[in-house]
Structure 1
Amino acid sequence: MNPRVEVAVPGAAAVGEGPHWDAATATLSWVDIPAGAIHRAAGAAGEVRTTVLPTSVGAAVPKASGGMVAATGEGFADVGPDGRYAPRPRVLPPGQRMNDAKCDPAGRFWAGSTDLDFAPGQGALHVLTPDGAGHVVLTGLTLPNGMAWSPDGRTMYLVDTMAGELNAFDTDPVRPRLARRRLLAAFAGRGIPDGMALDAAGCLWIAMWGGFRLLRVSPDGDVLAEVPLPVEQPASCAFGGPGLDILYVTTAREGLDLPPGDIAGSVLAVRGLDVTGLPAARFAG
């Protein structure tokens, strides 16, 4: 492994999150949470097109029926191909918002909610199924964040950032439910775990907020490798590119006193990892 890090898309996102590579269109999308901005770039280096929602947005992914589905400050919303914003019925109380979100292999859209003040135990894990139904699957979290599913789809991985934990669950490919929660890893001294991506070998790549690094973690929770980054707050990552061999990393400027020209808030590309990712799922609705 000979990792090489470069700026893929220059930017100044307060909190860049939710990267998603859509293989069908060779398009990278990501968001800036507090700005309510959804960015899309063809080939990751093409012209950036931005849609700004009238609310915060934790993540947005393409829909099989066209457009995107988004996790927002109120719950879930649809965003048409023309950028038209269509909120679904509100599911969150005032003072909360959705954070990171991702589709599982069955095309269900999972999203973590959090209290705006990150009050312990007030976060939850929600899922929007293709028929439009919403479910609360897990409560008692604080800042549910990175999500991934094992290559066979039987295990879901979930980060709770403020707890510094990586958990695993048995998951049901038919019904949106979780079972047999177990702690895989607790991180200290390397930053706090944020968003993550799965590689084809079943290992997890975790962005370590405040840690200037990515970690590669085995399905058993062992740290296998780390990749230094030139930014303090990497927020999430996703494999992309024609060969799914580039790890795109979204980053954040929020809370930092930075000199002019600092690359925090840009999207980075990490090459030379000697691993590939798996195709990201679209929302099946």
Structure 2
Amino acid sequence: MSLTIKKIIEPLELGEGPHWDDRQQALYFVNILKGTIHKYVPATGEHTKTKLDGSVGFIVPVNGTTDQFLIGLERKFVIVQWDGKEGSATKIVRELGTVDQNVVPNTRINDGKADPRGRVYAGTMGHEDRPGNILPNQGSLYRVDKTGIHKLCSEIGISNGLAWDLARKAFYYTDTMERRIRRYDYDVDTGNITNLKYIFDLEKNKVDGMPDGTTIDSDGNLWVAVFNGSCVIKIDPTSGKLLQKVPIPVPQVTSVTFGGPNFDILFVTTASLNIGGAQEPPCGSTYMVTGLGVKGLPNMNFQC
């Protein structure tokens, strides 16, 4: 099967956080700056959205429900209810807590995913007074679970790129401003992470752009969206080798996840931020990549 890259959603300002819901065979994602959450059903082509009050950093379904989601809303972790219909109202079911309360000026939650046990890891990024001008070292990474909200690391520029590998007991993470990919030892029973090391350096591997959202395939290789790089790169995290570069026809590639009935479709979100010049359509579109010859792993839901 040959590689095919197909546009499925019209341009957004900052598409991010794709999550494939296997139960509903639907892709959820967010438009951060417009504060909207989105649902796309590939089988029908139906695309719906609704708006919240504030920027939305990520969306993860709550396990056991079809209409509740954990989202990062500005600096709060909240559970919202949405029926998935176009423009229908959302309701905040529960507020789990606010982070970075003593950080001035305000940070915001940027990216989040659930680990293999349904704990959500999500981080913040520094204040951005204009697109691309971000205060460094202001953010942190958090874990949200049944016992509360726990800070895992601090002095983060832009929190991004979360993935887990149970076989290798590894957690992969990215501070975009470092232009490197982190690896931690990961304890699935406690959710704790230790022993930071760096496994890939974009500059040393001559990859232009900044590492953004990340997913992992069933072989344990990482797929990393490259912002201002017009591509998704495939990395072997054990050897640190760059295995493949998948071209995306717009510069600002923001995140990736595998989905579809067989988990062999790579969904790619992008942005159209005015950084270094206006980004005209199709910048900001969402894409579906097929023919990669690999399969991903199921996205996990939040166990509250």
TM-score bracket, normalised by the shorter chain, equals: over 0.9
**Shift of residue 35, structure 1, vs aligned partner:** 0.8
Deviations 1:68-99 (A, max 9, x none): 00012122011113421243332233511000
The one-letter code sitting in structure 1 at the alignment partner of 2:20 is: W
TM-score using structure 1 length: 0.94
d(CA) in 2 for partners of 1:163, 1:44: 39
Three-state SS of the structure 1 residue aligned to 2:178 is coil
- In structure 2, the partner of 1:14 is 13
- 1:36 corresponding residue in structure 2: 35
CA apart distance, 1:279: 0.6
What displacement does 1:153 show? 6.8
CA separation in 2, counterparts of 1:199 and 1:89?
Answer: 32
Q: Is the 8 A contact 2:273 2:279 kept in 1?
A: no
Q: Aligned runs of 1:167-182 on 2, under 5 Å?
A: 167-182=182-197
Q: 1:201 aligns with which of 199, 210, 219?
A: 219
> What SS class does the counterpart of residue 12 from structure 2 fall into?
coil
Aligned to 1:140: 155
Report whether the alignment pairs 1:88 with 2:96.
yes
Is 1:110 the counterpart of 2:126 in the alignment?
Answer: no
Aligned to 2:296: 277
Contact 1:121/1:139 (8 A) holds in 2: yes
1:201 alignment partner, SS class? coil
- Stretch of structure 1 that moved more, 212-221 or 81-90: 81-90
CA separation in 2, counterparts of 1:106 and 1:44? 29
Deviation at 1:61, TM superposition (A): 0.8
Of 266, 270, 280, which residue of structure 2 is paired with 1:247?
266
The answer for the alignment partner of 1:70 in structure 2 is 71
Q: Which amino acid aligns with 2:169?
A: R
Give the CA deviation at 1:44: 6.6
SS of the residue corresponding to residue 89 of structure 1 reads: strand
Amino acid at match of 2:263: L
Aligned partners of 1:4 and 1:272 also within 8 Å: yes
Deviations 1:141-186 (A, max 9, x none): 2112010001437210001101101000011112232111100011
SS in 2 for 1:35: coil
- Deviating 4+ runs (over 6 angstroms): none
* TM-score normalized by the length of structure 2: 0.88
Residues 225-259 of structure 1: per-residue CA shift (max 9 Å, x gap): 10111011110000011111110000100115244
User: How do 1:39-58 residues align onto structure 2 when only pairs under 5 Å count?
Assistant: 39-43=38-42, 46-58=45-57
Secondary structure of the 1:8 match is strand
Q: Given residue 113 of structure 1, which amino acid in structure 2 is its aligned partner?
A: T
Q: Out of 202, 223, 228, which is 2:242 matched to?
A: 223
CA RMSD of aligned residues (A): 1.6
Q: CA 1:45–1:163 in 2, change beyond 3 Å: closer, same or farther?
A: farther
- Local SS of the residue matching 1:242: coil
Task: Find the counterpart in structure 2 of residue 4 from structure 1.
Answer: 4
Aligned pairs for 1:252-263 (under 5 A) are 252-255=271-274, 256-259=277-280, 262-263=281-282
Q: What are the Cα deviations for residues 6-31 of structure 1, in whole angstroms up to 9, with x where unaligned? A: 1122x221111000101111010000
Distance 1:45 1:142 in 2: 39
Between the two proteins, the alignment pairs up a number of residues equal to: 281
2:141 to 107, 119, 125: 125
Aligned equivalents of 1:45, 1:113: Cα separation in 2: 35
Residue 45 of structure 1, CA deviation: 5.2
Q: Specify every segment of 5 or more residues in structure 2 that has no aligned partner in the other structure, as ranges.
A: 84-89, 129-133
For residue 214 of structure 1, the aligned residue among 223, 232, 244 is: 232
Are 1:58 and 1:100, in contact at CA under 8 Å, matched by a contact in 2? yes
> Is structure 2 residue 149 aligned with structure 1 residue 150?
no
